[in-house]
Amino acid sequence: MFSDTHFHFNILEEESRQSVLEQMAANNTFFGMDIGTHCDDLARRQKLALDVISKIADEDKKKKAFNMYYFSAGIWPAPEAIRDRKNQIIELERQLKAALDNPNHFYKKVVAIGECGLDHHWNPSGVDGRCESDFDQELFDGEKEMFLMQLDLAKKYSLPVVVHSRDAFEGTVECLKDACYDNGIIHCYSYGLEEAKVFLDRGWYLAFGGGVTYTKKSKMDEMIELLRYVPSDRLLMETDAPYLAPVPFRGQKNTPLLIEHSYKFVADARGISVDSLNETVDSNIRKLFSC
């Protein structure tokens, strides 16, 4: 139950990692994807996850944790990465090939490129410290180029893409058109219904997380309309843990174990049961990631 298509395992609190995986295994979680954000983090994340799983004493839970665990590999659009994008892409592909060629099956379980994309949300005091003043035209152009490079890499390896798009709808769509590659997830979907129609018409999945539970009363009708509009075969759920903990845990550290609150919110909005939403999400995961 409660598959999670987007979490950052390496930055979850160390003492919680094993207990989180054990509980996910106990819940018979079908799928969890450990997301990449740096060109050189894939090998470290895989080793960390395998080390944690190996410490699970219960053999049944250990097997379930191993089976449900998957990875992406990608570069988040940080200014320092954008400026060094050519070298960053070379290293990203090197780590991707090393994983796919590894004889250990666990390391081969890289099923997506990302998260990658465009971020034009300016919040200097936020966790990413993003400032509009950091972005001149050269950096804006470089951000698009790095995104396109990763779309091309996904195309080369026939992998879906986990797209990060924040306050950058037009630029994101422009890149997708230029790449001619529409295969993957718009992660942590934060736009409205009209923008959703554009992504859906191009064939993208939309993933919803804890942020939907923050919807203001004045915007609730719009959110419900959006959640009801998304076709069942294009809907996914995620946490972005340790960020975006859903209500009633907003402001606290998020983990994949809290995703059930987001599932309930979305299921209620769509007028279906949580079990039905679980089945829908798992079916979409099987199709998108061929797992």
Instruction: List the structure tokens of 104.
Output: 């250990």
In the prediction, which pLDDT does 124 show?
67
Q: What is the pLDDT of residues 73-118, one digit of tens each?
A: 999 999 999 999 999 999 999 999 999 999 999 999 999 999 999 9
Q: What is the pLDDT of residues 116-155, one digit of tens each?
A: 999 998 776 666 767 777 888 999 999 999 999 999 999 9
pTM: 0.96
Q: What is the pLDDT of residues 177-227, one digit of tens each?
A: 999 999 999 999 999 999 999 999 999 999 999 999 999 999 999 999 999
Q: Find the Cα–Cα–Cα–Cα dihedral 123, 126, 131, 135, rounded to 10°.
A: -100
What phi, psi does 237 have (nearest 5°)?
A: -125, 150
Q: Check if the beta carbon of residue 95 is closer than 8 Å to that of residue 40.
A: yes
- Which domains, ranges and CATH numbers included, belong to the chain? 4-289 (3.20.20.140)
- The number of residues in the chain equals 291
Residue 1 — very low, low, confident or very high, per pLDDT cuts 50/70/90?
confident
First-to-last alpha carbon distance for the chain, in angstroms, is 16
